[in-house]
């Protein structure tokens, strides 16, 4: 259930004048209570510490290996991600095995959906992710067994239609 919680934080019940199958007890207070219940008590600042976070992680200039950056074309969080239309163009950055995907006509978390009804783009991306992750894990296991440092020479690539793109 914890993976489901973030996708419904925007209060999914209908307005008061429309019948709903979602309990109206699931209000903002209920959702805010879930974080400490799921992740323990912690001190969340009243305002995001975005300057400190950007300084530590380099903001849009963050460089990581063996990572998937996946956004929907209409994902409201994409403007804050490394795939923002205002972020630096990463297509020519020398990042080993960093994968970028902007799913056409999609929103936040649609890449997590698994059913016969998801778009072919999502199905293909999920297959590519599985193949790539399997190769990364096999690479790491082989390096570990051979006592070698992982050279990260995997050539598995997500098809170019999913590569980083600035969408209009």
| DSSP per-residue string spanning 78-102 | GGGSTT-TTSPP-TT---TTEEEEE
**Averaged in consecutive runs of 10 residues, what is the pLDDT profile of the chain (168 residues)?**
43 70 79 79 77 89 86 89 87 76 87 84 90 89 75 47 40
Strands (E), 89-146: 98-103
Two tokens, residue 36: 């400490």
pLDDT of residue 150: 52
Can you tell me the distance from the alpha carbon of 63 to that of 129, in angstroms, rounded to the nearest whole number? 19
Shared-domain flag, residues 76 and 145: yes
What's the confidence (pLDDT) of residue 13? 59
Pair 19, 91 in one domain:
no
Per-residue confidence (pLDDT) for residue 47, from 0 to 100: 80
CA-to-CA dists, residue 135 to 66, 100, 129, 141, angstroms? 11, 17, 10, 10
pLDDT of residue 94: 67
Q: Tokens representing 62?
A: 């963050």
Q: Specify the pLDDT at position 163.
A: 40
Question: 22 lies in which domain range?
Answer: 5-39
Evaluate whether residue 167 is within a structural domain: no
Q: Are residues 29 and 71 in the same domain?
A: no
146, 67: one domain: yes
Q: Using CA atoms, how far apart are residues 164 and 90, in angstroms rounded to an integer?
A: 7
Do 11 and 90 lie in one domain? The reply is no
Same domain, yes or no, for 31 and 68? no
């Amino acid at each position: 259930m914890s993976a489901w919680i973030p996708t419904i934080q925007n209060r999914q019940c209908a307005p008061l004048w429309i019948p709903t199958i979602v309990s109206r007890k699931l209000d903002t207070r209920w959702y805010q209570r879930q974080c400490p219940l799921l992740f323990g008590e912690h001190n969340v600042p009243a305002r995001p510490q975005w300057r400190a976070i950007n300084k530590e992680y380099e903001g849009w200039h963050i460089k990581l290996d063996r990572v998937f950056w996946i956004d929907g074309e209409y994902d409201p969080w994409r403007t804050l991600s490394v795939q923002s239309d205002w972020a630096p163009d990463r297509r020519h950055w020398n990042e080993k095995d960093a994968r970028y995907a902007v799913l056409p006509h999609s929103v936040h978390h649609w890449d997590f959906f698994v059913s016969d009804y998801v778009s072919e783009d999502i199905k293909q991306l999920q297959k590519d992710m599985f193949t790539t992750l399997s190769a990364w894990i096999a690479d790491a296991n082989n390096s570990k067994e051979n006592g070698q440092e992982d050279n990260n020479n995997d050539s598995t690539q997500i098809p170019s239609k999913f590569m980083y793109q600035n969408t209009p």
